[in-house]
Each structure stands twice: as structure tokens, then as C-alpha cells.
Amino acid sequence: MDRSWICVTCGVQYPASPSPPAGCLICEDERQYIGLKGQEWTTLEHLRISHRIETAVEEEDVWSLAAVPSFAIGQRAYLIRTAAGNVLWDCVPMADAQVVDWLRRQGGIAAIAVSHPHYYSTMLEWSAAFGGCPIWIHEADRRWVVNGGEALAFWTGDRHTVFGDLQLVRCGGHFEGYQVLHWPHGCAGRGVLFAGDQPQVCMDRRWVTFMYSYPNFIPFDAATVDSITRTLEPLPFDRLYGAFGRHVLQNAKDTISRSRRRYLTAIGAGETPEADPSGQRP
């Protein structure tokens, strides 16, 4: 019997097959890891028995979705409701009938966008539940898509409008095609940045940070941090939503600027070199 296998460590779903894949492309990369027990797999059917999706209001027209108990990386997804349509930002590994019904009551999902490969999760399942809505991913990260489908929509360049005023911005860094979602009308018109985990909101929420690999503690160099922050600088926003329930609720742009200076000081970079526009790790 074919099953769509899900990696227990990262939560990414692979194509249906009689037996699990030999390994997980995402976790074998140096930004992730293979658990102490070796490669482990589960299925969506098992997750629907052991887990549920919990929703929470973050602000007007923004909800977070999280698997309970936490599974794999443990990131949150966000539903953003706008007059032009609703977007699911990032993804969580479990889609079930209860949360799909809840989402339909909020107006459904017109598009999905995912910041980077660690959060691809079961994105095709979520899309299928809403009529095969497009899943927007930057072309630079195409090779990390392990489960293809017609709903996948790859874009190129530095900015892409999903619809209305919702815009994807490629800032590179953590992955070559890493993207954030900018919503200028959020936060009562002051602007919101949905950043995934770049910039990552610290435990001390007065600060953010930047890492090539969070689980393996691999930092960026000065040029990469400059490239990321210069890409974000022109965007108007006051609030930043992170992937793990930690947010910067006001003065987010100033927080990023201060955090950049602190980061560069910590790595011994006074005057930073010219940024690599690709955002790639040297």
C-alpha cells in the first residue's frame, strides 16, 4: 500500500510509495540534522490521531496555527485575511477536517506561500483542501521541493505580488530563495512582516538574530547579514511575526537595525564589506 511519508525530524511530506524513502533530503543538508535514532518516518493518518491544530488570534485578520503537541520543527503557520483573498503563510504538518472547516469559515485560502524548505511540510495537502490553490515558492529553492504537484507556483526576481497588497520579498541568506511576506496594511496600517525564522525573534524579544543553521549553530558572515537587512529596509512595517510564537509587536524595523549592529559587533565586523546581492553564504 502506497503512503505519503512524513519526516519526523523536519515534518516534510514525500511522494506516496510502498515504503519510506532512504533518507530525507532536507535533513541530510548541513542546516538540519538526522536524529539520534536515525531517519524516522510517520504518516498524515497517524498525525491526525496523535495531534491537533490549535488556532489563536494574533491581531485583526491574522491567526496562527500550530500543531499540538509540537511536532518536528514546531513552527507556526499564519492565516492572513484580506479583501483580495486569504493567504496561508508557511505551513504545519497536519491538515485535518476540523481545521479545514475552521479555515473555510474564515473565508478559505486563496494562496499559500512558504518561507523556505524547512517549512514545506504537507503544503500539497493544504492546497488540495482548498481547490488546488497556488503555493508560491521562489525558483531558487525549486531543487528542495521533494513532493511535486500542479499547485506549485515558482516565481523569480526579488519581489512578487500574491494579490492585493500582499507581497513576497526574496532576501536570501538561510536559503538562496528565502522569502518573507510583507503586508503593508496590517497592524492598523503600520505594516507587518511575516519573517518565518529570518530574522529570528530571540527569547529576549527586544532582539532578533540571523543564522545559516539554527540547530547546528552556524552563523552568517557580515556581508550576508547586510544583504538580508538591506533587502528589508525599504519595506514599511512596525510588527514582525516569527515562526515560533515570538513576535516583535512594535518598532520591528528599529529592532532589526539594532540587532544587526549587535550581531556584527559580536562577530568582530566593524565596517562591513559590500553585501552579496544574491544573499548566498560564501
Domain ranges of the chain: 3-266
* 3-266: CATH, from 3.30.420.40, 3.30.70.3270, 3.30.70.890, 3.60.15.10: 3.60.15.10
**pLDDT for res 62:** 98
Q: How many other CB atoms are there within 10 angstroms of residue 274's CB atom?
A: 8
- β-pair type (166-170, 159-163): antiparallel
**pLDDT for res 270:** 64
**pLDDT for res 190:** 97
pTM recorded for the entire structure = 0.93
- DSSP state letter for 17: E
Ranges under pLDDT 70 in the chain: 1, 270-282
| SS3 state at 216 | coil
Give long-range contacts, CB 8 A cutoff, 24+ apart: 151-159: 151/112, 151/124, 151/127, 158/231
Q: Which residues contact 71 (CB under 8 A, 6 or more apart)?
A: 11, 47, 51, 93, 94
